[in-house]
Amino acid sequence: MCLLERSSERSIIAAPVTDVAVAVVIVAHNSVSELRRSLPAVCAELRPDDELIIVDNGSSDGMAEELDRLAPAARVLVMGRNAGFAAGANAGAAEAHADLLVFLNPDVIVQAGWGEAIRRQWGGSAAAWMGLVLLEDGEHINTSGGVLHFTGFGWAGQVGEPVSAAPTTAREAAFLSGACLAVPRDLWHRLGGFPEHFFMYCEDVDLSLRLRLIGGRLLVLPEARADHAYEFAKGELKWRLLERNRWATVLRTYPSPLLALVLPALLATEAAVWAVALRGGWGRAKARATIDVVRALPSLLQERRTIQATVRVPASAFASSLTAALDSPYFGRAGRHPAVRLACRVYWRCVVSLLARFDA
């Protein structure tokens, strides 16, 4: 049975334990077929005092009726419209009472032992953590933790590599994937959750960087495994949101010394992105993303002031999680070009050196 008794409050600095109550939040939009496959495995990993909260983000596929059969103890929150993943996750978290929030995509099927493994970090050194997410075949990696370039481009670490290449012990990542993300509820609310105006994409990067700003560690737990029916669909809306939210994340979260030093690279990258967009047929999406950022700039700068007031680490420490390498398979030959690799490496080395002097 999956639900629903209020858990007792526990300190996030206590010794690691596995008896913390968990609230699993799943944001779903027309996801009946996915939930038919994923919910039995989730429910098998939950305990009587856990919660299962499913956010119905404007579905029209009869999901509410199907959930009565699939997970009768689940709490279903009906949004009435597709408010986006970020807003749906925030709404689901607001309904939770358990001390540990865990966000799962509806097409993520957790493996046996996932529940105990995801609880095990409670009271440990991490501010937030994620499981090792595999592709649907269970034999290849979807993400072993996000990789983040200093210009704000992020991608799934080790995507497509065999599961034998996955880490065997917990390790830090630049950002955590929202497909299987665990964060203490009190800390989540203190940070304000996901930025709802992102709608979807990059909200997990933004939250991860805000956690880093306050000194939080982000861990990937290889024993908490889950399979994900992942596909990098390249529709116009996705390109628009990815570009818009990449800029929003950088503007909101990068400490001022870092932002000043990478700004020339960000502007230079714009020319390259425009060329790729026009050649790839998504120039209109890039134009709309640019307009979105310009229109939102006053509010983004206000959000930036609020976020930067929380900073507890030097800019050099924050920057240590970023990379100069564009070795994601999604960048293709352009990212592996020797001139590009050299330029990024030299530029980033200069930035890191200047940040160290600034922080000294």
Domains of the chain as residue ranges with CATH: 22-228 (3.90.550.10), 236-359 (no CATH)
pLDDT recorded at residue 330: 75
**DSSP per-residue codes, 76-143:** EEE-SS---HHHHHHHHHHT--SSEEEEE-TTEEEPTTHHHHHHTTTTSS-SEEEEEEEETTSSBEEE
Gap between the Cα atoms of 284 and 153, Å rounded: 20
Q: With a cut of 50, list the residues of the chain below it in pLDDT.
A: 1-15
pLDDT recorded at residue 3: 39
Omega before residue 4 within 30° of 0, cis:
yes
pLDDT recorded at residue 336: 80
pLDDT recorded at residue 208: 98
The pTM assigned to this predicted structure is: 0.92
pLDDT recorded at residue 65: 82
pLDDT recorded at residue 269: 93
The residues near 55 (Cβ < 8 Å, ≥ 6 apart) are 25, 26, 27, 28, 76, 77, 79, 88, 89, 91, 92
pLDDT recorded at residue 33: 94
pLDDT recorded at residue 160: 93
pLDDT recorded at residue 17: 56
Gap between the Cα atoms of 281 and 145, Å rounded: 30
Query: What residue has token string 């038919």?
Result: 36
pLDDT recorded at residue 313: 97
Torsions phi, psi for 75 (to 5 deg): -95, 120
